Amino acid sequence: MASTTSASQNSHRPDPLTLEVVELIGEVVARFHEDYEAAASEHALTGAQARLLSMLCLEPLPMRRLAQRLKCEPSNVTGIVDRLEARGLVERQPDPADRRVKVAVATREGRRVARSLRESLRFAREPLAGLSEGERVALRDALRGMLG
Q: What is the pLDDT of residues 45-101, one digit of tens each?
A: 999 999 999 999 999 999 999 999 999 998 899 999 999 999 999 999 998 888 888
Q: Is 62 in a helix, a strand, or coil?
A: strand
> Which residue in 94, 95, 67, 71 sits closest to 81, CA to CA?
67
pLDDT value at residue 70: 92
φ, ψ (nearest 5 deg) of residue 129: -65, -25
- Residue 9 in this model has a pLDDT that exceeds 60: no
pLDDT value at residue 10: 56
Q: Say if residues 56 and 104 touch (Cβ distance below 8 Å).
A: yes
Q: What is the pLDDT of residues 10-61, one digit of tens each?
A: 568 889 999 999 999 999 889 888 999 999 999 999 999 999 999 999 999 9
| 75/79 Cα distance (integer angstroms) | 7
DSSP one-letter string for 91-120 = EEEEETTEEEEEEEEE-HHHHHHHHHHHHT
127 sits in the region (left: phi over 0; alpha: psi -120 to 50; else beta) called alpha
Q: Please, is 38 exposed, middle or buried when counting C-beta atoms within 10 Å of its C-beta (0-12, 13-18, 19+)?
A: middle
pLDDT value at residue 45: 96
pLDDT value at residue 129: 82
